[in-house]
Amino acid sequence: MPNAYRRFITLPYLAWAGVFIVLPILLIVYYSLTVEADGHLLLSLENYKRAFDPVYLTIFRRSASLSLSCTAICLLLGYPIAYILASREYAHKSFLLFLFLIPMWMNFLLRTYSWISILERNGLINTALRAIGLPTADLLFNNAAVLLGMVYNFLPFMILPICSVLKKREQSLIEAAQDLGANSRQVFTKLIFPLSVPGVVSGITMVFMPATSTFIISDLLGGAQNMLIGNLIEQQFLRVNDWHFGSAVSVILMLVFLASFGIFSAIDKDEGVGLLY
Partner 1 sequence: MEEPLIRLVNICKSFDKAQVLKNINLDVRKNEFVTLLGPSGCGKSTLLRIIAGFERPTGGELLFHGKSIVGVPPYRRRINMVFQRYALFPHMDVAENIAFGLRLRKEDAGTIERRVEEMLRLVNLRGFNRREVKSLSGGQQQRVAIARALVTAPELLLLDEPLGALDARLRKDMQAELKNLQRTTGVTFLYVTHDQGEAMTMSDRVAVIRGGALMQVGGAEEVFNAPLNAFVAGFVGESNILRGEWRGEGLVRFGGTEFPCRAGDFQIGEEVDVMVRPEDVRLVDAARGMLAGTVKAAMFKGPHYEMLIETSAQLWKAHSTQLIEVESMAGLEISPGAIHVMKREEAR
- Report the chain's terminal Cα–Cα distance, integer Å: 32
Instruction: Output the smallest distance, CB 175 to partner 1, in A.
Output: 6
- CB 170, min distance to partner 1, A: 7
State which of residues 69, 114, 142, 178 lies at the interface with partner 1 (CB under 8 A): 178
Tell me the closest approach of the beta carbon of residue 167 to partner 1, in angstroms: 16
Q: Which stretch binds partner 1 (CB under 8 A): 61-69, 116-124, 168-176, 206-214?
A: 168-176
Q: 139 exposed, middle or buried (CB, 10 Å; 0-12, 13-18, 19+)?
A: buried
Alpha helix stretches (DSSP H) within the chain: 2-17, 23-32, 46-51, 54-86, 94-105, 108-119, 124-131, 143-167, 171-179, 184-187, 193-213, 216-217, 229-234, 243-267
176 binds partner 1 (CB under 8 A): yes
Ramachandran area for residue 153 (φ above 0: left; ψ -120 to 50: alpha; else beta) = alpha
Site string for partner 1, 187-226 (x = CB under 8 A): ---xx--xx-------------------------------
In the list 3, 172, 225, 241, the residue contacting partner 1 (rule: CB under 8 A) is 172
Among 58, 65, 127, 186, which residue interacts with partner 1 (rule: CB under 8 A)? 186
Interatomic CA distance for residues 243 and 31, integer angstroms:
7
What is the rounded CA–CA span in Å between residue 252 and residue 122? 40
Q: Is 265 in the site for partner 1 (CB under 8 A)?
A: no
Q: How far apart are CA 152 and CA 216, in angstroms?
A: 13
Q: If binding is defined by CB under 8 A, does position 29 make contact with partner 1?
A: no
Q: Does 39 help bind partner 1 (rule: CB under 8 A)?
A: no
* CB closer to partner 1 out of 117 and 186: 186
CB of 77 or CB of 187, closer to partner 1: 187
From CA 205, how far away is CA 71, in angstroms rounded? 9
Task: Give the separation between CA 212 and CA 187, rounded to whole angstroms.
Answer: 35
Q: Using the rule CB under 8 A, is 181 a contact of partner 1?
A: yes
* Interface region with partner 1, contact rule CB under 8 A, candidates 46-54, 132-140, 167-175, 223-231: 167-175
Residues of this chain that bind partner 1 (CB under 8 A): 170, 172-173, 175-183, 186, 190-191, 194-195
